[in-house]
């Protein structure tokens, strides 16, 4: 028999993201019955991140969920992405390294997130290397297509940087 918190969480999960009002109401009920409920905290964090764009509140919910279960891969993955968005690269890398040791982790995703960190830092060579490493761990065509598009984007950025750097150098020499 599941707890009331579980029942409300399942209702919220069923409503998210199509009926946000109902989802929020059910998550609040779940958290009122168990304020450490992993799923409810995770979904509330996801809702704050994706729907309400309240990144600080999303982080609070993710941290509460991780405090209850630091090996929850859903929470880890979404929190990693939030840390990257917040430009908290050291924290993101620490969580990626931890998550890589959790049983059942999707290494293709964590490598892709690590590549994204390098891309945000404009280190396109390391980003490309990690995206290629992620391809070796990808086990479905959809994710392989996604990784190939990431590689293509990073190569375009790298080419753009090389071109603009060359143009700047030529302009400085002309002066």
What's the pLDDT tens digit per position in 154-166?
A: 999 999 999 998 8
The pLDDT confidence band at residue 168, using thresholds 50, 70 and 90, is: confident
Structural domain boundaries enclosing 16: 1-89
Q: Say if residues 72 and 103 touch (Cβ distance below 8 Å).
A: no
Q: Where are the beta strands (DSSP E) in the chain?
A: none
Structural domain count of the chain: 2
Distances (CA, A) of 105 to 75, 77, 114, 122: 12, 9, 14, 27
Q: For the chain, what percent of residues have pLDDT higher than 90?
A: 93
Do residue 6 and residue 79 come from a single domain? yes
Q: Say if residues 147 and 112 touch (Cβ distance below 8 Å).
A: yes
Residue identified by tokens 């859903």 is 74
The pLDDT confidence band at residue 1, using thresholds 50, 70 and 90, is: very low
Residue identified by tokens 């409810």 is 40
Q: For the chain, what percent of residues have pLDDT higher than 70?
A: 99
Do residue 76 and residue 111 come from a single domain? no
- Local structure of residue 52 (DSSP, 8 states): S
């Amino acid at each position: 028999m599941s707890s009331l918190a579980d029942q409300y969480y399942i209702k919220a999960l069923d409503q998210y993201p199509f009926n946000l009002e109902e989802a929020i109401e059910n998550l609040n009920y779940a958290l009122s019955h168990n304020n450490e409920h992993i799923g409810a905290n995770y979904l509330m964090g996801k809702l704050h991140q994706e729907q309400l764009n309240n990144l600080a509140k999303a982080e609070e919910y993710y941290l509460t969920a991780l405090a209850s279960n630091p090996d929850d891969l859903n929470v880890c993955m979404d929190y990693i992405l939030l840390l990257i968005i917040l430009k908290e690269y050291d924290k993101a890398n620490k969580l990626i390294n931890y998550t890589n040791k959790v049983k059942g982790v999707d290494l293709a995703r964590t490598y892709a997130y690590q590549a994204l960190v390098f891309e945000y830092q404009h280190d396109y060579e390391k980003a490309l290397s990690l995206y290629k490493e992620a391809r070796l761990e990808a086990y479905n065509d959809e994710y392989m297509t996604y990784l190939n598009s990431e590689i293509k984007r990073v190569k375009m950025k790298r080419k753009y940087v090389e071109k603009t750097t060359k143009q700047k150098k030529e302009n400085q020499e002309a002066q």
